[in-house]
Structure 1
Amino acid sequence: MATSMKSSSIRKAQVPVSCYFCKGQQIKWKCDDCNVRMCNSCKVTVHQGLPSTKDHAVVSIQDIGKSSPGSQAVTPVVISSVSNSYTTTLPAVTALLCSDDDLLIFKFSGKKSAKHQVIRGKLLKSSIQILQKLKKSIFDIAINKDGEILFIDYKTNKIQLLSPTGEVNTNLDTSPMVPLAIHVNKDNEVIVGMREQGSPYPVQDFSVRQVIIFGRDYQRKITLEFDKKGNKLFSYTLRIRTDSRNVVYVLDSFDDDDNGRVVAVDRNGRLKFTYDGQTDLVTFQPTGITITPSNNIVVSDRGNDALHVINSKGDLLGLQFIFKDLGIYDPYSLCFDTEGYLLIGCGREIKKDNGKIHVVKMTDSLM
């Protein structure tokens, strides 16, 4: 009798998981967002046919074990080579973008308003050709599909547009909310991090900390503020980026020293993960973020002069202390150019220096 019960238990354990939709048994795919497994046919005819699943992450069952937490070794080499380094006219490059035609947009925001600058330029073989300058008090910058620079003027709480010809126009007034960070995604939507008036820290129960997605017409489409349990998603939005599926990645700051974390959230407000750095690091000060073609996230950590590379599930893939290894100091900002090179905007190493832009090649396995 005991033997019969044991055999029955074994047989039950060996019954394969069936397709969520058709109840068949040839499981090939899993949707991380829906948390369902499916066969080839239902993946195409059912799952992909739903408008709400357009940006969902569907992975092969064979790849699930390969990408599970702890299954992949962390590489200590994020940068395989340094191609070039440029010295700018600014004390630090606190934000950095590349346009589709490889024009470079970078900025510095200092304590004195006279030092605030946005510069549009072109990287030449041995220098940066300056094409355009704008002196304003600016929180953050973005670039739209027309090559126009969007910037946050924190003296007026306005989002303004700088055209290539030098015209400045106001596109959105966010008053009474204070805009903090801005990003334009692949669909030309404008994403803005905002907070209420008053002191930014500490974050109180009544504090309003939002990331808002606006359409091309600057009409509000989506507001991200709370997770599904009613907890605040953000403290202080420092930078925003999105991947090819329009998942939103926020550099979320806790204090004036830029200690913080990475918050990943989908357009439905579902928290995908938070990344707080490594447990053996005393601090984690994320100030720059960019996304690789394979949707890995690269984060610059000023507190440790390091680069962190994490995947779309929040697992650490690579960590490199770039000052120790390469002499790259004070990394503020990151972006990729059209040839796949990573650009790192930095502060000055000593007082007489100016900020630098380093052009580096990332390890292929992390791209």
Structure 2
Amino acid sequence: MASRAPSASTRKKAQVILSCQLCQRSSPLKWKCLDCDILMCDNCKINVHSKVKTIKIHKTVDIKDVDISQPKELSVDLDNYPCNTHPTQSCCVYCVQCKELICPKCLKTHKGHDVEEIETQYIQNLEYLRKNSSDYIDPHDLNTIFGSFDQLSIITNPEKINLKKTNTYETNLPFVHRLVTTSVNSIWITCYETTVSGLQEMQIAQELKAIREYNYRTIFDMTISKTGDLLLTLSEDSHLYRLDTTGKMNIVHDFSPLLPKAINVSDDSITVSTREKGPTFPLTVHSRRQVVILNQTGKKKVRVIENDKQKRRLFSFLSRITSDKLEI
């Protein structure tokens, strides 16, 4: 059964981007050999696949031209996906009005709504995503096929937003790597390639005026806590830190053996992305890519998100996290 519709919980999940099945790198997928049943990047099609004499007569097609109605594509289990509202029930139809998959118990709530066969909606959504996305869409990635459909529709029909520049400020940094604002009319800025102080708090006035400067040059991400303190992570460090007014780094949480990366603070929690030590790519079966939700003090883990219900990896690498009242 297909994934749930784009509810708040579903939209927290990320699209799974497949690697080339020949070089195993994250190069954009472009081709599929129908005889070998493999997906390839442009380089491997030209320099690897086409060089093998025994497969010169194989049929290779652009992945966007693959017939999604082929039996191989519909080998996805669309009959046993649990309902979001009633986890013990399997979804039976797709509610067109609410844009979500529902089970028999949900039918009363959706009385009078237009519904569609899940397989029919699956094919429509998959075809639409393939035509409008530059990335390869895995036909088994039900979270993307159903959960991201509304978001893609919004992206392809953007609302025009007019932005107006009100002021421009100069810093003594070669570039600003991270920037966060405070509630006291100041900003924190950081840069990891500089001979001057790599972390600075600047007061916003006619010009930027330095309030505090620290010689930290390996900051990966930072944000402001609900108490007004600066929370930050370092590039190759297993700790989430809080910077006090004296400039001392205090450990908030130890993520060992993983490395904390992106940080986000909401009303009642701190969300941090983590990964294993070593090279970021390529991903292996031993790679650990998580989103960890801590309580507001940062001392206790509330939830760890890494895989979907089919035990498939949700994330490759999260360098930023943002949130609103419902979603991260």
TM-score under structure 2 normalisation? 0.51
Rounded to whole Å, the distance in 1 between the matches of 2:157 and 2:315 is: 30
- Cα RMSD of the aligned pairs, angstroms, is 3.4
Tell me the alpha carbon deviations over residues 8-30 of structure 1, each in whole angstroms, 9 at most, x when there is no partner. Answer: xxxxxxxxxxxx99xxxxxxx95
Matched residue, 2:176: 93
Matched residue, 1:196: 276
> Secondary structure, in 3 states, of the residue corresponding to 2:190?
strand
Distance of aligned partners of 1:131 and 1:116 in 2 relative to their CA distance in 1, 3 Å threshold: closer
- Out of 158-167 and 216-225, give the one that drifted further: 158-167
Rounded to whole Å, the distance in 1 between the matches of 2:190 and 2:151 is: 37
Distance of aligned partners of 1:79 and 1:210 in 2 relative to their CA distance in 1, 3 Å threshold: same
C-alpha displacement at 1:101, in angstroms? 3.2
C-alpha displacement at 1:186, in angstroms? 2.2
Distance of aligned partners of 1:98 and 1:74 in 2 relative to their CA distance in 1, 3 Å threshold: same
Distance of aligned partners of 1:120 and 1:71 in 2 relative to their CA distance in 1, 3 Å threshold: closer
Rounded to whole Å, the distance in 2 between the matches of 1:119 and 1:34 is: 51
Structure 2: 5+ residue stretches without partners? 1-84, 87-96, 111-149
- Equivalence map 1:54-203=2 (5 Å): 69=153, 73-75=157-159, 77-110=160-193, 114=195, 117-124=198-205, 126-136=206-216, 137-187=218-268, 189-203=269-283
* Residue identity opposite 1:195 in structure 2: R
C-alpha displacement at 1:191, in angstroms? 1.3
Distance of aligned partners of 1:181 and 1:67 in 2 relative to their CA distance in 1, 3 Å threshold: closer
Rounded to whole Å, the distance in 2 between the matches of 1:164 and 1:34 is: 52
Report whether the alignment pairs 1:206 with 2:206.
Answer: no
> Secondary structure, in 3 states, of the residue corresponding to 1:69?
helix
Equivalent pair of 2:197/2:213 in contact (CA under 8 Å): no
Decide which structure has greater helix share: 2
C-alpha displacement at 1:82, in angstroms? 1.0
Rounded to whole Å, the distance in 2 between the matches of 1:142 and 1:72 is: 31
Distance of aligned partners of 1:164 and 1:203 in 2 relative to their CA distance in 1, 3 Å threshold: same
Distance of aligned partners of 1:30 and 1:168 in 2 relative to their CA distance in 1, 3 Å threshold: same
> Secondary structure, in 3 states, of the residue corresponding to 2:281?
coil
Equivalent pair of 1:108/1:115 in contact (CA under 8 Å): no
* Residue identity opposite 1:228 in structure 2: K
Distance of aligned partners of 1:116 and 1:196 in 2 relative to their CA distance in 1, 3 Å threshold: farther
C-alpha displacement at 1:79, in angstroms? 3.6
Rounded to whole Å, the distance in 2 between the matches of 1:70 and 1:97 is: 28
Q: Aligned pair count?
A: 192
Equivalent pair of 2:230/2:242 in contact (CA under 8 Å): yes
Rounded to whole Å, the distance in 2 between the matches of 1:235 and 1:116 is: 32
C-alpha displacement at 1:145, in angstroms? 0.9
Tell me the alpha carbon deviations over residues 174-202 of structure 1, each in whole angstroms, 9 at most, x when there is no partner. Answer: 22111111121122x22111111221111
Tell me the alpha carbon deviations over residues 127-178 of structure 1, each in whole angstroms, 9 at most, x when there is no partner. Answer: 1122112221211111101110011133432221112343331222222111
Rounded to whole Å, the distance in 2 between the matches of 1:212 and 1:219 is: 10
Higher-Rg member (1/2): 2
Structure number with greater CO (CA < 8 Å, separation at least 6) is 1
Rounded to whole Å, the distance in 2 between the matches of 1:130 and 1:95 is: 16
> Secondary structure, in 3 states, of the residue corresponding to 1:86?
coil
Rounded to whole Å, the distance in 2 between the matches of 1:160 and 1:127 is: 29
C-alpha displacement at 1:78, in angstroms? 3.3
Rounded to whole Å, the distance in 1 between the matches of 2:321 and 2:185 is: 21
Matched residue, 1:230: 311
Tell me the alpha carbon deviations over residues 56-108 of structure 1, each in whole angstroms, 9 at most, x when there is no partner. Answer: xxxxxxxxxx9992698424x53431111111111111212122333212211
Rounded to whole Å, the distance in 1 between the matches of 2:285 and 2:256 is: 21
Structure 1: 5+ residue stretches without partners? 1-19, 22-28, 40-65, 249-367
TM-score under structure 1 normalisation? 0.46
Distance of aligned partners of 1:119 and 1:229 in 2 relative to their CA distance in 1, 3 Å threshold: same
* Residue identity opposite 1:235 in structure 2: S
